Homo-oligomer: A and B are copies of this chain.
Amino acid sequence: MNNDELLKLENQLCFAFYSCSREMTKLYRPILAELGLTYTQYITMLALWEQDHVSVKELGAKLLLDSGTLTPLLKKLEAMGLLTRARDKADERHLIVRLTEEGAALKEKASLVPIRLFEGTTVDPEEIFALRKQVQTLMSKISDAT
């Protein structure tokens, strides 16, 4: 590939991911709005529904986000009544996040989100599964390097 080809926007894998990620977020937006959540708030809740009672550090490791992003996000979710934030008695450096009853209950409603997401599109479930696997493989190769 020559220089011009190499630098074309449409030949950049990163741009494909970057733009696809944002388009998918747009697909989520109206659906998540019914739950009163933004996309980042949603994946944070997904992580907590999977494992409750975790520190900001652990949550950050799952979501690949640091305290700079998580602290204000968690404060917002706390203000919304979906979770509580409290220091770990055993080690006051850790802040433990716990779902409230309301936060745990929201999972019920949320279970419809993945089903509704690709309604109205021609996206094939098999395609989603295969693609996700490949992206995750790439991710791990990239993470190894950084």
Please give the residue numbers on chain A whose beta carbons come within 8 Å of chain B beta carbons, in ascending order. 3, 6-28, 39, 43, 46-47, 49-50, 62-64, 107, 110-111, 113-115, 117, 120-123, 127-128, 131-132, 134-136, 138-139, 141-146
Contact = CB atoms under 8 A, between A and B. Distances in A.
A106 to B, nearest CB: 11
B19 A64 contact: yes
B123 A131 contact: no
A50 B9 contact: yes
B9 A62 contact: yes
B135 A7 contact: no
Given A138-B127, A144-B121, A14 B7 contact: no
A46 B146 contact: no
5 contacts: A7-B49, A8-B46, A13-B24, A18-B24, A123-B142
Given A3-B111, A46-B8, A121 B134 contact: no
Contacts of A19: 63-64, 139
A127 B134 CA distance: 9
B64 A139 contact: no
Contact of A123 (B12, B47, B141): B141
A128 B18 contact: no
Given A12-B114, A13-B128, 14 more contacts: A7-B50, A7-B107, A7-B113, A9-B46, A13-B131, A14-B21, A15-B46, A16-B132, A18-B24, A20-B136, A20-B142, A121-B141, A123-B141, A131-B134
